Structure 1
């Protein structure tokens, strides 16, 4: 029985380690990515280099209450968010077809990126011991450097908070 308990503890530790990553730090170069969007297009960080900031709004799981509230908030404030030189993406480890359905159901005016391999999630430090990403928003400057890692997202005010961060970070308006 003691052996079985030890085996369970080892398995649990391995599980948590497989789904844990080191958070990014402000000033670091953001890891490259190339991911499929809910609109069927493929997006990469390098395509925005030198042109506009990139914001990755990580959420845990499509079609869940908190994630729906957060993504709707961003959609409802799309006009205000579009006033800035920012490529905005919601992003999760869900399969592309799940994020496509989620984006269509919410009629989102921005793409949701899919990272089912979790490679980008791990590189961006948003895996916190679970097979889904933590709710984090990562702000990346035109130069590819991390400007802010916001891990205190309030789903209901996600867009308003994002707009405040744009101002605080000095992100250019169009």
Structure 2
């Protein structure tokens, strides 16, 4: 009987334990939030704009030493059309000096420097001033400073750009000078002072003039000349050396 009581007690205890365990609160994880659906916008097939590069300032078409003078025409201070090709044909040596703006201090010094040396220069070369100023501005500049040479107006900076004398792609010119001989570029000086431009251009012209003179004449050794009248027995021969000029 005692054994039966103990078994009943164990069963009752086990029952209470099970009941207590069943009453325990079990923590429940909060529900995960639903993922939001993101709508993807299809990528449109649009070409990116093409970046345009101004090659005129990068030197893509810039004249180099040995290049021929371009086939362009510009107006001078008298509103007359001047062909660069014709200038090169008519003059062995041509000097173009570029100045930023007519009637400004530095440009006046440069222009007057070429004026003061014009007598020496004109013996060997033609001289032209060049800027982006209007024809009217060029005429006023020439008259006021009593310049003995023509001033070319290049408002679009076509020739100035080919010479490599643009300050920026949009505006401005750089003080410089360029010397052509036989229609080809021989000297180019960019970003120089007014005084250096005049002095160096004069030296370069004299150097080219001397070189061209040597090339234009050469000695033809000794030649025999025969002269006679009627009877060939009276032939006289003489020898002489001389130079031929082109």
Q: TM-score range with shorter-chain normalisation?
A: 0.7 to 0.9
Aligned to 1:120: 159
Residue 103 (structure 1) shift = 0.8
Is the Cα contact below 8 Å between 2:68 and 2:184 reproduced in 1?
A: yes
TM norm structure 2: 0.58
- The alignment of Structure 1 onto Structure 2 pairs a total of residues equal to 158
Q: How far apart, CA to CA, are the structure 2 residues paired with 1:39 and 1:73?
A: 22
Q: Please, what TM-score do these two structures have when normalized by structure 1? A: 0.79
From the CA coordinates, give the structure whose radius of gyration is larger: 2
Residue 186 of structure 2 is aligned to residue 137 of structure 1: no
> Which sections of structure 1, spanning at least 5 residues, go unmatched?
1-13
Partners of 1:35 and 1:50 in 2: CA distance: 16
1:101 positional shift? 0.6
Q: Which residue of 2 aligns with 1:56?
A: 96
2:64 pairs, out of 25, 32, 43, with 25
Task: Give the superposed CA RMSD.
Answer: 2.4
Q: Does the residue aligned with 2:82 lie in a helix, a strand or coil? A: strand
* Higher fraction of strand: 2
**Does 1 or 2 have the higher relative contact order (CA < 8 Å, sep 6+)?**
1
* Post-superposition offset of 1:154: 2.7
Does structure 1 conserve the Cα–Cα contact (< 8 Å) formed by 2:189 and 2:197? no
Equivalent pair of 2:176/2:197 in contact (CA under 8 Å): no
Q: State which of 40, 54, 61 in structure 1 corresponds to 2:79.
A: 40
Which runs of 5 or more structure 2 residues have no equivalent in the other structure?
1-51, 214-246
Change (3 A) 1:170 1:132: same
Offset of 1:131 from its aligned partner?
A: 1.0
- 1:66 paired with 2:103, answer no
Q: State yes or no: 1:94 paired with 2:133.
A: yes
Distance, in Å, in 2 between the alignment partners of 1:128 and 1:169 is: 28
User: Whole-Å Cα distance in 2 between the matches of residues 127 and 18 of structure 1?
Assistant: 11
Flag the 1:49–1:71 CA change in 2: closer, same or farther, 3 A.
Answer: closer
